[in-house]
Structures are given as C-alpha cells and as structure tokens.
Amino acid sequence: MINKVDVLAIGAHPDDVELGCGGTLAKIISEGKRVAILDLTQGELGTRGNLEIRREESQKAAEILGVKHRENLKLKDGFLVNSEQYQLRIVEAIRKYQPEMILCNALDDRHPDHAKAAKLVSDACFLSGLRKIETSIEGDLQAAWKVKHIFHYIQWRELKPDFVIDITGFIDKKIECCMAYASQFYNPTSNEPITPIATKDFYESISYRAQNIGRQTGVEFAEGFNTAQTIALKNFDGIVW
C-alpha cells in the first residue's frame, strides 16, 4: 500500500510538527503539495490531557492544516532509542508515503526525545533506500525509497537556522492548528498543572518567534530549519533579499 505524498512531516510527539513547521505546511499545502504527518509517540507522558484527548486534538489539527494522512507509530514516549526495531518502523512509513522531503525534529532541544528523533529519522531515511532491507505492510513487500531532502525544524531552543521559509500570510493558520491542542497550551480556565508550554508567554511566543525570524530575513513571519545537507540552488530567483 502506497499513499504517495510530497512531504512527510515527522514529530516525536503530537503537536511537535505544528509548533515546528505548521506555517510551512499550511503554505505548501495551499500551493498544492501533498503532506502527511507521522507522530512517533502518543505523548503519553505529557502532564496535561490524556491519550484519547491528544488523539482527537491531533486529528483536529490535521484537518485544520488539510494534510492527506496522519498516523501514530505509538513508540515509547520519553524513551526513544535509535534501535533496529524503531528504525524499521519508520522505514516502513517512509516507503509507504514515498516523500520527496522529510521535515523532522530539531537537532538539539530541551526535550531529549527531540534530538533522538532527529537522529532516528535521519538514519531511517538512509536505510529506506537500501534494497536489501526488506519491509512489508499487510503482507506486501515494499520497494526501497530514497528521500531527497531531510530538514529539521527548530523547536524550544533558538538555534541559528540554516535557512528559513517565509510564512507571511500563514501565521494565523499555524496558531490555529497549534491551539487545536487545547489540553496542552494556555487556557486560563484550566485546572490542570501549569507546564512550560501552557503559559501565556509560550502562546505568544508562537507568533513573536516567527516574527523575529522574519525580521532578521526581511519578511514578516518565518520558520527556521537546519540541515546536514549541502543545498544546491538552480538560480537566485527564489531568494528573498
């Protein structure tokens, strides 16, 4: 079974993708690109909410963005490891969706799962292209698939981006899909414990961090990305001066 997409956005936890690259996804979907989201864990160790609530919130966020498919591998939250078992689960997903590009967790971040996921996904991308690694879904043998580009969105830590995507005009959609996770973020009427991402400051930071990255690059709002690849440009026409 193949559900071909242009971009596969991967997050260690539900809401990672929305916070890290929600504006970028909204923009490329508006341009006709096909996008799928893969959550590695269910975020079951999160202080607020529960599995059922977070599952409903993640589906609502996907509907807001207009992604083609969203699935959760249900790996162990808080204990991601770069193991053969986990690598092969992600290889199966990559071969299922056959993306040209993968967007995934930050290379370095406050939550240990984020950097672990970044390495795990990068390694799985390499393995996905090896024909002698056999994987199957529902009994059907999968073909090897090489991902052209792997980029890492920026999360809690303010890493210096290697490049940014102009999301001017899509910041409202980014905030809307993030706030679909009502159990996780700022809500002055909630009786649940306050966490670092459940504060008013964090809610406001979704906008002002994008605005700050945009200010540094000559646009109103932007999202930053890191890459271990060398990027080749056909010409300079796509660069915002």
Does pLDDT of 240 surpass 80? no
Per-residue pLDDT averaged across 171-177, rounded? 98
pLDDT at 135: 97
Q: pLDDT tens, 148-169? A: 999 999 999 999 999 999 999 9
3-state secondary structure of 221: coil
Per-residue pLDDT averaged across 177-199, rounded? 93
Report the mean per-residue pLDDT for the chain: 96
- Cβ-Cβ contacts under 8 Å for 48 (sequence gap 6 or more): 183, 184, 190, 192, 193, 195, 198
Q: CB atoms < 10 A from the CB of 176, how many?
A: 16
- Grade residue 241 by pLDDT with cuts at 50, 70 and 90: low
pLDDT at 236: 87
Per-residue pLDDT averaged across 21-31, rounded? 98
Q: Which amino acid is at 210?
A: A
Q: pLDDT tens, 209-233? A: 999 999 999 999 999 999 998 988 8
- Each residue of 94-121: b (16+ CB within 10 Å) or e? bbbbbbbbbbbbbbebebebbbbbbebb
Per-residue pLDDT averaged across 66-72, rounded? 96
Share of the chain above pLDDT 70, in %: 100
pLDDT at 221: 98
- Grade residue 234 by pLDDT with cuts at 50, 70 and 90: confident
Distance CA 128, CA 135 (A): 9
Contact 152, 161 (CB under 8 A): no
Backbone angles phi, psi at 179, to 5 degrees: -75, -5
Going by C-alpha positions, the residue among 162, 72, 152 that lies closest to residue 119 is 152
Judge: domain 7-226, CATH 3.30.1490.20: no
Per-residue pLDDT averaged across 26-39, rounded? 98
Per-residue pLDDT averaged across 45-58, rounded? 94
Does pLDDT of 238 surpass 90? no
